[in-house]
């Protein structure tokens, strides 16, 4: 047994409203640059739909991920090592910029500089590649909310597998959102495709990163990743990818997409797994067995032997403890409601999803029946085969049994909790019908529906140990201490917010006496004419600061 820790994510799709806040905040933080216009570390797809880049799931076309040889060994679908090197001069499976979209901006200047004329001046779209007029025909979410579905949706590779005949009915009854980031796989095919060895998996937390100093732009990883989450920056000539916001994770903060998620649908936590068994699990002959095989690679963090081995492998004690409290472990292995995205790619993805029950609920309520009654929901799950098959195409390589089971659990939870919320007698039989106890249902309800910040995100800080704290002191202004006259430093650029005891707590629930920047007082010294003392430039006198708890803190 070789215990390794992996930072993982689960998304509860029932709660996703498709607002794209995650995509926007991610872009603002990471890819708001020239050359990275098409790079969306996080994107939200409407399903059924083409996805981003278009039809990325069609591996017969893009050749991403792994495949099994006749002898049952894992091989990159794009070909072996020699073929990889021989095709280096023209990467065979590289999406063109048109498969993403041609980046554009608008000629806003024309709005203010156009001469007087009969018609309103307009801001024409201009291509950012050529600088010329362009027609906007696609973007990262052009088929949002099934827009243009008559034209596009039948190209959805998953829908094509479900079959064409039911397509029309399907579109009328079923739609959900699928937010996607890099899967930070246990058996990553991008890492394996990189000729240079610039992509690596971090030993400590399993986050997959690209060393920008070592990447030479051979682009084989772009084709190698079946999720198309390796992006070629066309200005720098290097590949970039979702970083799992590692600088935030290292100091115990959730990723920016999780932090800003309006629906609070993302969960973050550790998974312990047996690295020795990854390859064997990824080589499971039957595609339908891959979901179970991956679950078996995960280790029970409460098992004394696992704990012993984890410590022996150098995993710190607080990390093991965090793995025990991990919401990911609860959702994947305890309640078994989270499923991997496309296990058939054999990369062992580590961003999992709770499939949405809402289409089933909608279908029942559309008929005017009680959509919180267990029998109605169960019957609808059994009847709505097309959505279930579609979900299975996404999450279980087409095997509908696990999806059925998850949806039954979610339906049972809905019915069971309705009784409690209405003040009625809870029916244990509902819980038992999905193999759970009433208490377990209530616990799951708490995690899924109440979803407290501290329970959604269980992120142990990285171990800089004392050296890091010392470094922080050494790199900050020595006067910049609580109550001191310092100027506030760089507000976390140097990781100093690691020491803020209130970071990592739910900002919505924060206590009012949080020390930090006083509200509404920000000093810009560049605007100061040197006359007088602007408010807040100096800390208030000690008698004042005693009255105002915020006065003495750095501003």
Partner 1 sequence: MDDPLNVFLWLIFPYICLTIFILGHIWRYRYDKFGWTSRSSQMYESSILRWANPMFHFGILAVFLGHVMGLGIPQAWTDAVGISEGMYHFMAISVGAIAGVFTIVGFIGLLYRRRFTKAVLGATTKMDKTMYFTLGLVIVAGLANTVSGVAGAYNYREGVSIWFRSIFYFNPQPDLMVDAPFTFQFHALIAIFLFALWPFTRLVHVFTAPVGYIFRPYVLYRSRDAHAGSRDVRRGWEKVDTIPKRRPD
Binding site for partner 1 (CB under 8 A): 81-82, 84-85, 87-91, 94-97, 127, 129-132, 187-188, 191-192, 194-197, 199-205, 211-219, 232, 234-238, 250, 462, 466-467, 470-471, 474
66 vs 335, which CB is nearer to partner 1? 66
SS (H, E, C) 8-67: EEEEEHHHCCCCCHHHHHHHHHHCCCCCCCCCCCCEEEEECCCCCCCCCCCHHHHCCCEE
41 vs 66, which CB is nearer to partner 1? 66
- Contact present, 537 and 529 (Cβ < 8 Å): no
Q: What is the spatial distance between Cα 236 and Cα 238, in angstroms, rounded to a whole number?
A: 5
Listed in sequence order, the residues at least 6 apart from 101 whose beta carbon sits closer than 8 Å to its beta carbon are 38, 136, 137, 138, 139, 140, 142
Output the smallest distance, CB 105 to partner 1, in A.
14
Tell me how far the alpha carbon of residue 156 is from its chain's centroid: 22
470 vs 521, which CB is nearer to partner 1? 470
340 vs 518, which CB is nearer to partner 1? 340
Output the smallest distance, CB 252 to partner 1, in A.
15
SS3 545: helix
Output the smallest distance, CB 78 to partner 1, in A.
13
- Strands (E) across 23-175 are located at 43-47, 66-68, 74-76, 104-106, 125-127
Q: What is the spatial distance between Cα 91 and Cα 158, in angstroms, rounded to a whole number?
A: 25
- Contact present, 88 and 94 (Cβ < 8 Å): no
Half-sphere exposure of 345 (CA within 13 A, CB side): 33
Q: What is the spatial distance between Cα 265 and Cα 263, in angstroms, rounded to a whole number?
A: 5
75 vs 517, which CB is nearer to partner 1? 75
89 vs 424, which CB is nearer to partner 1? 89
Output the smallest distance, CB 462 to partner 1, in A.
7
DSSP letter at 441 equals H
Buried/exposed code over 265-283 (b: 16+ C-beta within 10 A; e: otherwise): bbbbbbbbbbbebbeebbb
Q: What is the spatial distance between Cα 338 and Cα 39, in angstroms, rounded to a whole number?
A: 27
Q: What is the spatial distance between Cα 433 and Cα 405, in angstroms, rounded to a whole number?
A: 11
DSSP letter at 176 equals E
Q: Do the bridges between strand 66-68 and strand 351-354 make them parallel or antiparallel, or are there none, so unpaired?
A: unpaired
17 vs 129, which CB is nearer to partner 1? 129
- Contact present, 358 and 364 (Cβ < 8 Å): no
25 vs 253, which CB is nearer to partner 1? 253
72 vs 131, which CB is nearer to partner 1? 131
Output the smallest distance, CB 306 to partner 1, in A.
20
193 vs 374, which CB is nearer to partner 1? 193
Output the smallest distance, CB 88 to partner 1, in A.
7
Look at the chain and count its residues: 555
Output the smallest distance, CB 195 to partner 1, in A.
3
Sign of CA dihedral 72, 90, 35, 491: positive
74 vs 410, which CB is nearer to partner 1? 74
Quickly count: other Cβ atoms within 10 Å of residue 512's Cβ: 6
Q: What is the spatial distance between Cα 248 and Cα 511, in angstroms, rounded to a whole number?
A: 22
41 vs 100, which CB is nearer to partner 1? 100
131 vs 285, which CB is nearer to partner 1? 131
Buried/exposed code over 421-436 (b: 16+ C-beta within 10 A; e: otherwise): eeeeebbeebbebbeb
Q: What is the spatial distance between Cα 266 and Cα 21, in angstroms, rounded to a whole number?
A: 13
Listed in sequence order, the residues at least 6 apart from 198 whose beta carbon sits closer than 8 Å to its beta carbon are 210, 211, 214, 215, 216
Output the smallest distance, CB 233 to partner 1, in A.
10
Buried/exposed code over 540-549 (b: 16+ C-beta within 10 A; e: otherwise): beeeeeeeee
Beta bridge partners of 351: 9
Q: Phi-psi category of 257—alpha, beta or left, where left has phi over 0 and alpha has psi -120 to 50? A: alpha
91 vs 386, which CB is nearer to partner 1? 91
Output the smallest distance, CB 96 to partner 1, in A.
6
């Amino acid at each position: 047994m070789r215990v390794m820790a992996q930072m993982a994510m689960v998304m509860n799709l029932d709660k996703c409203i498709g607002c794209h806040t995650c995509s926007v905040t991610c872009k603002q933080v990471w890819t708001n640059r020239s050359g990275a216009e098409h790079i969306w570390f996080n994107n939200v797809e409407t399903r059924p739909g083409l996805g981003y880049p278009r039809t990325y799931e069609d591996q017969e076309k893009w050749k991403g991920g792994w495949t099994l040889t006749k002898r049952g060994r894992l091989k990159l679908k794009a070909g072996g090592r020699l073929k990889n090197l021989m095709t280096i001069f023209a990467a065979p499976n590289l999406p063109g910029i048109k498969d993403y979209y041609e980046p554009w901006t608008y000629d806003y200047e024309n709005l203010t500089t156009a001469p007087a004329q009969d018609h309103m001046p307009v801001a024409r779209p201009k291509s950012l590649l050529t600088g010329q007029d362009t027609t906007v025909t696609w973007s990262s979410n052009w088929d949002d909310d099934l827009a243009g579905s008559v034209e596009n949706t039948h190209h959805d590779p998953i829908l094509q597998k479900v079959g064409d005949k039911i397509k029309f009915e399907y579109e009328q009854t079923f739609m959900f959102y699928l937010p996607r980031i890099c899967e930070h796989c246990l058996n990553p095919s991008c890492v394996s495709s990189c000729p240079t060895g610039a992509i690596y998996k971090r030993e400590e937390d399993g986050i997959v990163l690209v060393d920008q100093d070592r990447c030479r732009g051979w682009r084989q990883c772009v084709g190698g990743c079946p999720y198309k989450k390796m992006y070629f920056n066309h200005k720098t000539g290097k590949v970039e990818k979702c970083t799992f916001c590692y600088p935030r994770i290292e100091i115990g903060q959730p990723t920016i997409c999780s932090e800003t998620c309006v629906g609070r649908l993302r969960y973050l936590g550790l998974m312990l797994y047996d690295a020795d068994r990854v390859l064997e699990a990824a080589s499971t002959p039957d595609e339908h067995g891959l979901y179970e095989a991956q679950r078996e690679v995960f280790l029970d963090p409460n098992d004394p032997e696992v704990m012993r081995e984890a410590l022996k492998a150098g995993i710190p004690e607080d990390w093991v403890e965090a793995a025990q409290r991990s919401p990911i472990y609860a959702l994947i292995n305890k309640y078994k409601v989270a499923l991997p995205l496309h296990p058939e790619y054999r990369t062992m993805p580590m961003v999992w999803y709770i499939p949405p029950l809402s289409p089933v609920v909608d279908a029942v309520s559309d008929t005017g029946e009680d959509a919180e009654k267990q029998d109605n929901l169960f019957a609808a799950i059994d009847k709505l085969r097309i959505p279930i098959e579609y979900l299975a195409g996404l999450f279980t390589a087409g095997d509908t049994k696990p999806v059925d089971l998850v949806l039954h659990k979610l339906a049972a939870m809905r019915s069971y909790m309705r009784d409690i919320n209405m003040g009625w007698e809870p029916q244990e039989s509902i819980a038992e019908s999905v193999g759970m106890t009433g208490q377990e249902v209530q616990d799951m309800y708490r995690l899924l529906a109440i979803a407290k910040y501290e329970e959604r995100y269980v992120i142990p800080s990285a171990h800089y140990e004392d050296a890091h704290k010392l470094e922080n002191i050494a790199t900050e202004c020595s006067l910049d201490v609580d109550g001191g006259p310092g100027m506030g430093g760089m507000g976390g650029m140097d990781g100093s917010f690691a020491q803020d005891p209130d970071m990592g707590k739910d900002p919505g629930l924060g206590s009012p006496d949080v020390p930090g920047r006083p509200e509404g007082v920000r000093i810009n010294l560049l605007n100061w004419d040197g006359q007088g003392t602007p408010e807040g430039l100096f800390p208030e006198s000690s008698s004042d600061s005693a009255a105002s708890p915020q006065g003495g803190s750095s501003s």
